[in-house]
Structures are given as C-alpha cells and as structure tokens.
Amino acid sequence: MKFTTIVGTRPEIIKLSTLVPLLDKKYDHSFVYTGQHYSPTMRDVFFDELRIRQSDYSLNAHSSDYSKLEEEVYPCLERENPSYVLVYGDTNSTVVGARAAKRIKSKLIHLEAGLRSFDQRMPEERNRIFVDSVSDYLLAPTVLTKTFLEYEGYKNIYIVGNPIVDACKKYLPRALKRKTKDNLELDDEFLLITAHRQENVDDPYALKELVRHLSELRGQCIYPIHPRTERRLKENEINLPENVKAIEPLGYFDFLNLLYNCSVVLTDSGGVQEEAITLKKPCITLRENTERWETILMGANRLFPLLHNQGSLSDAVEEMKDKSEYIRGLKNPYGEGNTSQKVVEVIEMIVGE
C-alpha cells in the first residue's frame, strides 16, 4: 500500500515531524516537500533541528503560487501513484496536493479538517473549505471542528487531535535546555510577539496600526520577525517602537523556550494559538477572527483586531495575565500528545475497509 504525504511550509514540518516516521514504518511511504517555504530560516533549520528525514522529493517551486506549485507536485504524484495522499491544514501546498491527488484518482486524507474562521476573505479559509470538499477522509482535531463538518454534510470524519501537541511535548525538554531567554537578557514578565499575516503587514496602514498598538505595551517585548514583515517595514520606512526588540526568525527549540517563559504571547498565527494552550500560556490573537475557537471559548485566548480598534492592547495584556493561573488548569482541546498514533490507527482502519 503506497502513501504520499505532501507538505510545503514551516508549520507543517513541525506538526508532521512525529507522524512521518510512523508512516514510514507502516507503509511504502513517500514524503514530498513543495518548496513553498524555501528560505533556510523557514525550512532547513527545522529539518535539521527536529531530525526529520530528508523528503523523497524536495521541490523547487520557491513560490506560493498555485500553478507553480502544481507544476512541481503533479509529476511527483504521477510517478509515485500512491493509493492514498495525506495533506495537512490550509496552505497553498495543501490545495495543490489535493488537486494532484484527485487528478491521479488517489484517495485523499485531510489532516486538520473542519477548521473555520467564517471569513471568506482569508485565503486559508477558502483553501481549507476546498480541501475538505474534495477529501475522502476528514481527520478533525476537535469535537467542535467535527461538528462544523457534520453541519456541512460530510461523512468519514474522525477526531484525532492536533499533532502540534505531540511536537510540543516531544521537543519541550530539549527546548528548555537552551539559554534563549537568558541570552536575550529577558525578565520573567516579557511579552512574545509574532505577526506576519498579509492583512496585518502587507497594507501600510495596517502595519502602522500594528506598530501603534505595540508602542502601548509596557515592559520587555521580543519579536522574532518574519522575513516578509521585515521587508514591509523597510519598504514603508516604518520603525518598530523602542520597547519592541526585533530578532531573527528562530528555530523551533528557541521559539518553544521563549513561549514557555513569556507571560503572554501576542500572535496572528493559527499554530501559535495551539502551542500557547498546549504550554498553558495566555494568548492574544491580533485578528478579527480565528479558526481556533476552542481557545476563545475556554478563555485562554482573546481576539484583538488591529484596524479601527481604539481599545488598549496593554489592558488586554493585563487581562490575560490575570488569567494565567486559570489557564494552567485547563485541559487541552487539541489532545494530550498522541495524535500521530491516532492518525495511524485511523489510517489502518481505512485501509482495512
């Protein structure tokens, strides 16, 4: 039985780092990396640090453009001709992998199915809705995401959790051995910031609003800056406020170290919202909406849209700090760290059928 897994971005590398070895043991399994993230700081460091085997196909799309990605991915799948193709999440690589799987008539398995922001302006929302619509099997992370899929009329839904929990739990002990926080001379109440989404950094006005809100924050702020964000700041001659220290993108261990040690994380990333609840850290999502509604409903996360918002980001930070003890007692809605094993068990059942 032949399987192919398709990934293309840094978050996918991290999340599937615990699943790929299990699939390698069980099946004739090929692993395709599309090259959607191609900067060494966004790709190579994660393969090396997490000790993930090299992909069977390391493609050179060097783009997030659908047509360029498909030009690279389709010939690989045609050559492999797998019975099943596994795609993850909501990236352009996911969409292209799904399209290619349908072209060669492979069965398609979508891991992290059912997430919904209910905002069709988001390319990720359009991507995940499309991939769910063409998938043969839907592996949802939570009861809520399964409910969304059921209301949309889908069958063959399985709740497995999210493999980011597996990755966090596996790599945290090694991450805590690093001296990241000490080397950066950070105190115990520092804030961690990640912001890179198109709606927050590509529009100069939105980027200025991000900077304005960040300037209100009190205390130390550390910002591992995404290459696109850094580029947009330079292009628009916008400077980060003095209270925010920008640093180069981090490897996963260094990032986990900072997330574990920060008082609050402010982010526009979906994956960081999951990592925050896994490490029991208060989170503020710098967006109008989220597809991780579980964390909002539990009170471990709150939304803070940047545009046309006269509210105080500093007050929001203090509000979430006050919830720290409560958040430490919450159960993780995304699982307890055995998602990869659950995925393999579901696949075994599917193959058996």
Can you point out the beta strands (E) in the chain?
A: 2-7, 28-33, 57-58, 84-88, 107-111, 137-140, 157-159, 191-194, 221-224, 244-247, 264-267, 283-285, 301-303
- Is-contact 300 123, C-beta < 8 A? no
Which tokens belong to 137? 């099997």
Side chain identity at 182, as an amino acid letter?
D
Q: How far apart are the C-alpha atoms of 108 and 353, rounded to whole Å?
A: 15
Q: How far apart are the C-alpha atoms of 60 and 119, rounded to whole Å?
A: 31
Q: Produce one character per residue of 61-90: b if its CB has 16 or more CB atoms within 10 Å, e if not.
A: bebbeeebbbebbbebbeebebebbbbbbb
Q: How far apart are the C-alpha atoms of 308 and 24, rounded to whole Å?
A: 49
List the catalytic residues: 196
